[in-house]
Structure formats: C-alpha cells, structure tokens
Chains A and B, each alone.
Chain A
Amino acid sequence: MGFFRLLFQPQRNSASIAKERLKIVLAHERAGRNAPDFLPLLQRELIAVVGRYVEISEEMIRVTLANSGDTSSLEINIEIEGAKVKTKPGPALNAAV
C-alpha cells in the first residue's frame, strides 16, 4: 500500500496548486475589472461587420486591452480558420447591429 501511495502521490501539495490557480484567475479578473465599458459593444459590432463576410461566432473574436507602463494597446484577435466564407455579403452594418 505504502509503495503504491508513494508511486501515485501527486508531486505538488494542494496549497501550492491553490496558489497557482488563484494567481491565474485573479490576473484575468483584475484585467477585466479595469476594462472600459465599450469593449463588449465593440466586440459585438466587430462580430456584426466580420459576420457579413464570414460565418463567425462570438468566441472567435477576442478584444483585449493591455496596459504596460504608459501605453495601452487594444488587441483584436479574429480567428477565421475553418470559418465558412459567405458567397454573398450579409446585410449592411446599420441593419446588422
């Protein structure tokens, strides 16, 4: 029994796992907390525009605002690999949003 327990015992104790998990989740949540309010709307509008040409879903667009020192950068990642290209563009933006 003791031998098996030794063999399968996890390498790290649970407290250090807790610490790592917390660091990651809080880094993410803190970034979201300070984000300006327009980000979700921007994301929705981008989906509408890109969606005119390619079939995309919400999780394929990522809008993040990164702050480092004095500069902040807006990063927009649109993943269209595997997305179906529409043969005819969808309705114009005003109608879509």
Chain B
Amino acid sequence: MGAETDLREDKPIGPAKAGREAGLAKVIVITSGKGGVGKTTTSAAFAAGLALRGHKTVVIDFDVGLRNLDLVMGCERRVVFDFINVINGDANLNQALIKDKRHDNLFIFPTSQTRDKNALKREGVERVMEELKQQFEYIICDSPAGIEHGAITALYFADSAIIVTNPEVSSVRDSDRIIGILASRSRRAERNESPVDVHLLLTRYDPARVAKGEMLAVEDVKEILSIPLLGVIPESESVLRASNTGTPVVFDENSPAGRAYVDAVARFLGEQREMRFLKPERRNFFRALFGRA
C-alpha cells in the first residue's frame, strides 16, 4: 500500500483504475446461488487467510436484512454504523469499518438490518468500493443467496469470483447458473473487459461418502462446471465450532477445514499446493476415543 496515494492524485473520479494498474485492490466475490453452502464461512476464512498472508483485507456483508458476517467474525457487539449508513452518507467509511482484534490487516464491513432490500444502490456501492480500493489490497464481498438484487450487486464489481459449491445436485446446478450470470451481468462483462476469473471451492466434502459412491466426487463437479478448482474443504466439526465462537476457521490450526482454507488462499495467491483431505481419514482408535476431529 502506500504507493497508491501518488497514483490517485491526478484522477479524482477513477482512482480505482490506478489501484488496479498497480496490481492493488482486487475485488473477490464469494457466491453460490444456493443458500447454506458456506459462503459466509468461506468469506470469513478467506479474508482472515489473506490477512494472515500479510494482505490488508476487508470483508463486506452484502446480505442486507440478514446480517450474519458480524457473528461469524465475532464482532457483532462492535457494530455501530453499517454499509447502508455509509452509502446514505450518514457515516463515513472509517466509522463503519471494524478492525479485527486478532489481526491488524483484517477489517469487517457489516451490512444493515433494514428490510429494504433495494437499499444497496449501485452508484452508492460503487462510490464505497472506490473508496475501499484506496485502503485495501483485497475486498471480499460476501454475497447473499439467490440471484436477486443483493446477489447481483455483490458480484457486479468483482475481479475474481469464488463459487462455493457443495457436492450435491441443487448446489451444482445453482453454481452453474451463477457462473452464467457472472459472465453476462458483471461490470467486466458489461464493459467488455477480460471476464471475471472464477474459481471453484468445493465445501462440505465427505471423502468417505465419495468412496462409497454416495456423493459426487471432486472430479465430477469439476468436470460438470468446467472451472478451475481452488480447493476442497472437508466436512468438519471445526466449522461449527468456529462459528459458535465467532472465529474464522483458519485461526484453528488443528482444523482440517482451516488448513484446507489456508491452502486455498495460497493457491489463490499463485502457489502450487497439493489437494489434501480427498481420501477418507483412517480413524485412529485413540483419537476417536479422546481426540477432537
């Protein structure tokens, strides 16, 4: 960071372009179409993972009316101003941003609990995004489920998309739908720029059930959706434990899911890492008796 202040001097309206040209400020949408597949868990884990790698990151909740990212991030009691307040000019950005207590690079931007789903005006969101790009390297947009206004607004500004998918028919179908929407309705598509780069993140993967032929294998989902695979997150008790305590799962070093997210973040940053947790775990007798999953 630091360099972008020089870049922005001569262009008060389009400072984002300056950030992008310098390789800064990447907008990543976490989306899926289907609900309950792990978007917010992934948003929290990915944002925390990027922060752990030394990147200044903000994670934004786009699910207006159903605020939950604050709970998953463990900052629900620190919310004063929200996304809609900033869009409406009732608060400035820095009043609304919540600095994570575990990591200096990590910030949370909570959404509003208003019932007016159309409160996310595109021009307002754009203005806020441009402002965020001045401060952050990565902007993670936690999309609501569905393909309505909120979900479209969340993906509109994206440079990258992480498609969170469960190995299950309805989730795969909805992922395919959202990939189509990214290709046609994102800002990059509208402006005929290079397309949003999409990544598949397979979550709640159960290798034992895959081995028994009861669950779609990672190769199957990859083949059907034909987008590059960013990672496979195994079904893990630690994910519920993490949300219970309001801790992004990457902070749990003993968690297979947490380690799988750390790998996925590393791959996103361009590292080669072998896929783990694809084979059924052999249950150790003593671990089964005394240990935690």
| Contacts from A to B (Cβ < 8 Å) | 13-16, 18-19, 21-23, 25-26, 29-30, 33
Once A22-B169, A22-B172, A26-B173 are accepted as A-B contacts, the answer to whether A15 and B220 lie under 8 Å apart by CB is: yes
CB proximity of B191 to chain A, nearest CB, Å: 20
Question: 5 tightest A-B contacts by CB?
Answer: A13-B213, A19-B220, A15-B213, A18-B169, A33-B180
CB proximity of B51 to chain A, nearest CB, Å: 36
Question: Which residues of chain B in 18-64 are interfacial with respect to chain A, using CB atoms and an 8 Å cutoff?
Answer: none
Interface size of B by CB at 8 A reads 16
CB proximity of A41 to chain B, nearest CB, Å: 20
Does B210 sit at the interface, judged by CB under 8 A?
yes
Residues of A within 8 A of B212 (CB): 13
Cα A87 to Cα B210 in complex, Å, equals 62
| Contacts from B to A (Cβ < 8 Å) | 168-169, 172-173, 176-177, 180, 210, 212-217, 220, 224
**Which of A22, A23, A26, A33 has its CB near the most chain B CB atoms (within 10 A)?**
A22
Cα A18 to Cα B209 in complex, Å, equals 14
Residues of B within 8 A of A22 (CB): 169, 172-173, 224
Cα A30 to Cα B216 in complex, Å, equals 21
Which residue of B is nearest A13, CB measured? Answer: B213
Would B215 and A15 count as touching, CB distance under 8 A? Answer: yes
CB proximity of B210 to chain A, nearest CB, Å: 7
Cα A26 to Cα B224 in complex, Å, equals 8
Cα A59 to Cα B176 in complex, Å, equals 27
Instruction: Kindly list 5 other residue pairs between chains A and B, CB separation below 8 angstroms, not including A15-B220, A19-B220.
Output: A15-B214, A15-B215, A18-B216, A23-B224, A29-B173
Would A29 and B216 count as touching, CB distance under 8 A? Answer: no
